[in-house]
Structure 1
Amino acid sequence: MSHKRIPKRKAAIAAGSVVALGAAVMLLPNANASQDGSSNGAAVPKTLKATDASDLAAQLQTLLGQSFAGSYYDAASKQLVVNVVSGSNNQVVVEAKKAGAQVREVKNSLASLKSGAQTLKAKATIPGTAWAIDPKTNKLAVTADRSVTGAKWARLTSTVKSLGGGMATVKKTSGKFKTLVSGGDAIFAQAQGGTVRCSLGFNVTAKDGSPAFLTAGHCGVAAKQWSDSQTGKPIATVDQATFPGNGDFSLVKYDDPNTKTTSDVNVGGGQTVQITKAADATVGEQVFRMGSTTGLHNGQVTGLDATVNFASETVPGGTDTVTGLIQTNVCAEAGDSGGSLFTQDGSAVGMTSGGSGDCTAGGETFFQPVTAALQATGATLGDSGAGAGAGAGNQGGSASADPSASATDGTGAGGQAGGGAAVGGTADPSAAATDGTGAGNQGAGTGAGDQSGAGTGAGDQSGAGTGAGDQSGTGTGAQSGAGANNGSSLTQTR
């Protein structure tokens, strides 16, 4: 039976365009494996990878019970730091230390911090505000964007003050919280007001076994049918969508049940990082985000179970409140929405929801946890169906993700033809593709052209312009031109 295969650019689970980044963030070497250590019989903290720290934190939360007041990963020492409420039973503290955690006593219990968050929700649900528990400070970290002024700012600060001293901090950000519609491995829909562009987040297998993908929930409520090109016919239909409320995620099923997908992240230049599992985020761990507007960026998780109050785009003066998000200091801009948040070891962590700031001045960005989206939809992460080539090859074969290798002389992860190697290439998120080398897909263009084109760079589908044209010419966009970014200059955001 003939099976339809989505082109690599469409099937990749990352939200990044096929681009060669001028200043790509290098994925760092793996942290040391967990180690036991002791000095004179006394328990000392273990050296852990972030994912192992997350597992240990979950175990210790159960062990400590009400004494547990949050935890975070200290990336410098590679240790898990666990907060224990002052005056807790000494025996559970000893057990936590024996398990390998660094234990510190704090004032605020997790229950009191969660109660404070409920007070903020009841009294200060103001568009442009957000809050999350910060285990590093053992306080609620409250943020207000530039739109929160006058009476709104007074209301927010008075509510924070009412929580009592030492319970919360409040700061202003120069940006404005917004959902970041557009971006990534682009998907398009026609909605009231024009074309909506979002990003394909992670390919999954739906509960009924059909091929599907996850993306942002505000995309799924904006339109029902989605295409892999701005003017193309729909290829997928929204099955479930949550936004606003407890999350920002959509499950979108491919219309063709024979669609073959891959489980990897497109990190630029046609290169990929294999995704092997979904994982919960840990405060303090390093994470990577890929998006079409700004490419590959990294940072740290700064908060969990965050609440964000977006100004409603459909109800004038209304508020779209979303809970249960991951807060980070990774930058993002319009065009990066729905992009993959992942770790160096191939764990899928989140999908871009929204935030403030940009990749020049910085800011906060919030992500929908992948684990929560999978649980809510019943989907499973990974390839759908046999024949989905592993790694970076578009026509099968296997390629490994090597963040440091250079893509030269046909080495890379291209598919079918062009300069890239369809089988056995080495994925390099930072190498520049030249002279047909790297990730050419079907065409013979120089660099990482996708399906043809004579331009230099990473144009998608055709065109000879220099830069990143959207369908033709010079500009910033997807589907043609021969530039470096798949932005959204020819599409409208919601």
Structure 2
Amino acid sequence: MSPARHGNSRRSRIVPLAAATVAVAALAVVPGTANAGTALPVRQATALSATLTTALGDRTAGSYYDRALSRLVVTVTDAAGADQVRAAGAIPKHVQYRASELAAVTARFDRTARIPGTAWRVDPRSGQVLVTADSTVTGEKLATLTKAVGDAGGKAKLARTGGRLRPLISGGDAIWGQGLRCSLGFNVHDSEGNPALLTAGHCGVATNDWWEDSSNYQHIATTQGADFPGHDYSWASYDPGVDSPSAINTGQDITGAGEATVGEQVTRSGSTTDVHEGTVTGLNATVNYEEGSVYGLIDTDVCAEPGDSGGSLYDGETALGLTSGGSGDCSSGGETFFQPVPDALAAYGLTLP
């Protein structure tokens, strides 16, 4: 019996894509709060962010972690919200637009400007929707996107990049599929306790079988579920007796999964470029690949290259994401998007470790 597949099960043609650096507008600190806030480890700051986001509702555009201060900064649209943030031990910053206003902008973009080679997300540092267009967005497509951003007024800002947005799939080492190479994200267990692996959805959509060698001699796993586009996660069950490969090149132990926080320092491991560090720059990003749109991604300034797809994003013992796609390289730098791990675990009923 063939394994169950989810989402688009056709064999994908993976093509290049890219990302950009977007200018961030300065935010005014609420008077008298320059030294406010309680120093917190990033995981505690993430939990506090979730609590305050719920409490503030429409009166915030998000939050970010200030590593220099070890403090959580939370955006607010009114004085009452600033008081709530300050009382909770975080630093408030004023922004002009409510969450619902920015959500309406991204929803409109999804209807009218879902153009391959573009990406957007709400940036809590600026309180705007940041839109990126790669080098393939020209002519009528660029005119459509420019109009959409202009119609949003000050709620959105457009930036260009010279690269191309792409899922980072290739052919080489780590885990090999049928004519492709990806990276193992994390070793997990299925609902019955059997060992399995997590990787990118566009990898699992493209192949049913996984080998540990480029000659496809030693079969190690079979894809059981794959979602792409929409999401970008897949899982494969290991063959009986397989000594599963390490998920993290550094040997870092992973004890569980968690949500990322803007400003958090993170590490990415991939089969092409090994281990690189960087910072989370945004959450809930939409990326429009040639194959379709993927939602809810983590945006970072970590570099990656083809073949790193599916690789792990983590902070210490906490699994955060699976490498989806991005731009640039690890010589000149770049921007990379990640599928959050908690979503992938929940989708398939998997556990980590």
TM interval, shorter chain, is: 0.7 to 0.9
Q: Tell me how far apart the structure 1 counterparts of residues 341 and 162 of structure 2 sit (CA, whole Å).
A: 28
Kindly provide the CA deviation profile for residues 168-195 of structure 1, in whole angstroms up to 9, marking residues without a partner as x.
Answer: 11111111011111379711122xxxx1
Indicate if the aligned counterparts of 1:184 and 1:290 stay in contact, CA closer than 8 A.
no
Q: In structure 2, how many angstroms separate the alpha carbons of the residues matched to 1:185 and 1:350?
A: 21
The one-letter code matched in structure 2 to 1:282 is: T
Say which structure is richer in strand: 2
In the TM superposition, what whole-angstrom CA distance separates every residue of 1:110-160 from its partner, at most 9, and x where no partner exists?
111111001111111111000011100101111111111111111111100
Corresponding pairs, count:
319
1:303 aligns with 282
Deviation at 1:95, TM superposition (A): 3.0
CA deviations over 1:349-368 (Å, ceiling 9, x no partner): 11110011112222221101
Q: State the SS of the aligned residue for 1:357.
A: strand
Aligned to 1:153: 142
Match status 1:365 vs 2:336:
yes
Aligned mates of 2:57, 2:196 — CA distance in 1: 38
1:69 to partner: Cα distance: 2.3
Q: How far apart, in 2, do the equivalents of 1:263 and 1:374 lie?
A: 18
* 2:233 is equivalent to residue 249 of structure 1: yes
CA RMSD of aligned residues (A): 1.9
Deviation at 1:264, TM superposition (A): 5.7
What are the superposed Cα offsets for residues 391-446 of structure 1, whole Å, 9 maximum, x if unpaired?
Answer: xxxxxxxxxxxxxxxxxxxxxxxxxxxxxxxxxxxxxxxxxxxxxxxxxxxxxxxx
Structure 1 distance, partners of 2:288, 2:277, is: 24
- Is 1:356 the counterpart of 2:331 in the alignment? no
Query: 2:312 aligned with 1:340, yes or no?
Result: yes
The Cα of 1:379 is off from its aligned counterpart by 0.3
| 1:65 shift after superposition | 2.3
Residue 202 (str. 1) matches residue 181 (str. 2): no
The aligned counterpart of 1:266 is: 249
Structure 1 residues without counterparts, runs of 5 or longer: 1-42, 313-319, 383-494
Matched residues in 1 for 2:271 and 2:223: separation? 22
Q: Distance in 2 between matches of 1:215 and 1:249?
A: 6
Moved runs in structure 1, 4+ residues, more than 3 A?
182-185, 258-264
1:127 corresponds to which of 109, 116, 120: 116
Paired residue secondary structure (1:364) = strand
The answer for the alignment partner of 1:67 in structure 2 is 59
- Aligned residue number for residue 330 of structure 1: 302
Matching of residue 141 in structure 1 with residue 130 in structure 2: yes
How far residue 293 of structure 1 moved from its aligned partner, in angstroms, is: 2.1
Residue 161 of structure 2 corresponds to: 173
Alignment partner, residue 99 of structure 1: 88
Where 2:206 maps in the other structure, the secondary structure is coil
- Once residues 170 and 328 of structure 1 are traced to their aligned partners in structure 2, the CA distance between those partners, rounded to angstroms, is 18
User: Where do residues 6-85 of structure 1 align in structure 2 (5 Å cutoff)?
Assistant: 44-85=36-77
Structure 1 residue 238 corresponds to structure 2 residue 223: yes
197, 202, 225: which is aligned to 1:218?
Answer: 202
Instruction: Name the CA distance, whole Å, in 2 between partners of 1:199 and 1:327.
Output: 19
Within 1, Cα distance between the matches of 2:171 and 2:350?
Answer: 23
Q: How does 1:104-123 map to 2 (within 5 A)?
A: 104-123=93-112
What secondary structure is seen at the aligned counterpart in 2 of 1:161? helix
Task: For residue 108 of structure 2, give the secondary structure of its aligned residue in structure 1.
Answer: helix
Aligned-partner Cα distance in 1 for 2:156–2:290: 23
Question: How far does residue 335 in structure 1 lie from its aligned partner after superposition?
Answer: 2.0
- Matched-pair contact (CA < 8 Å) for 1:69–1:135: yes
What is the deviation of 1:259? 4.4
C-alpha separation in 1, matches of 2:70 and 2:185: 29
Which structure: greater helix fraction?
2
1:266-320 CA distances to partner (integer Å, 9 max, x unpaired)? 12xxxx11112211010111111122322221111111111111113xxxxxxx1
Deviation at 1:70, TM superposition (A): 0.7
The normalised TM-score by structure 1 is 0.62
Work out whether residues 180 and 354 of structure 1, in 8 Å CA contact, stay in contact via their aligned partners in 2: yes
Which has the larger Rg? 1
- Kindly indicate whether structure 1 or structure 2 has the higher relative contact order, using CA contacts under 8 Å at least 6 residues apart: 2
What is the distance in 2 between the residues matched to 1:368 and 1:208? 24
From the superposition, tell whether residues 277 and 94 of structure 1 become closer, same or farther in structure 2 (CA, over 3 Å). same
Distance 1:238 1:183, change over 3 A: same
Corresponding residue for residue 254 of structure 2 = 275
- Which residue type is aligned with residue 337 of structure 2? F
Q: State the match for 1:432 in structure 2.
A: none
Aligned residue type for 2:314: F
Q: Which amino acid aligns with 1:64?
A: L
Q: Does 1:379 align with 2:350?
A: yes
Does the CA contact (< 8 Å) of 1:184 and 1:339 recur in 2?
A: no
